[in-house]
Amino acid sequence: MKHPHYNEVNRFANPAHEALMGVWWSGLKLKRAARTFFRAHAVSDTQFNALVVLNVAGRPLSQREMGERLLVDKSDLTGLVDRMEKAGLVERRAVAGDRRRHAVSLTAAGRAELARSEPDYAALVNRAMSAFTRSEVATLTRLMVKLHDSIDSLPSTPPVPRPTSQASRTESARPSRSNP
């Protein structure tokens, strides 16, 4: 089913907002495609990404390092690693000298699943990116790094919301405590 392009249904007065929504929309569509793809495989999209991260690292990673590389919250990562360990895809070992830290590494079964899934996934990635030339892929990668750096510079604490006009009217309509 062909879906409309984000800017065919959402017009923004601010071109920066429209571009950012294009990135967001693309991410959602990629997530949908990945979920569909991984229904035919023994791992989920998130588990596959964890296998890739461990493989690319070439060494065991602490759960903190995995969370940073996957952009996964600590509590979600613990459940992910628990499920992957139960499936025999990874093993978790205590880090010497620090009982609270664990190093996660690929097992032979994890490497085998990655070897089975990765070629088909690479073909899917190549198909998704086939709209771009090699030069455009490099440009897109550079632009995404710039966007990530810009997003990383945003304040991590959300601003205090300003009262809406309705809230302001409600506040002003309330009787003061000094009036009976």
Those residues with Cβ within 8 angstroms of residue 129's Cβ, 6 or more apart along the chain or in another chain = 137
pTM of the shown model: 0.75
CA pair distance 152, 147, nearest whole angstrom: 9
User: Which pLDDT score is estimated for 169?
Assistant: 46
73-86 mean pLDDT: 92
79-89 mean pLDDT: 96
Task: Note whether 47 and 82 are within 8 A (CB).
Answer: no
- pLDDT of 177 strictly over 60: no
Tokens found for residue 99: 């009982």
- pLDDT of 156 strictly over 50: yes
- pLDDT of 140 strictly over 90: yes
User: Which pLDDT score is estimated for 97?
Assistant: 81
pLDDT in tens, 5-22: 656 667 788 999 989 998
Lowest mean per-residue pLDDT among 58-72, 93-107, 124-138? 93-107
145-173 mean pLDDT: 71
Tokens found for residue 3: 């879906």
User: Which pLDDT score is estimated for 125?
Assistant: 94
Greater pLDDT, 42 or 167: 42
Helix axes 74-86, 63-70, angle to 10 degrees: 110
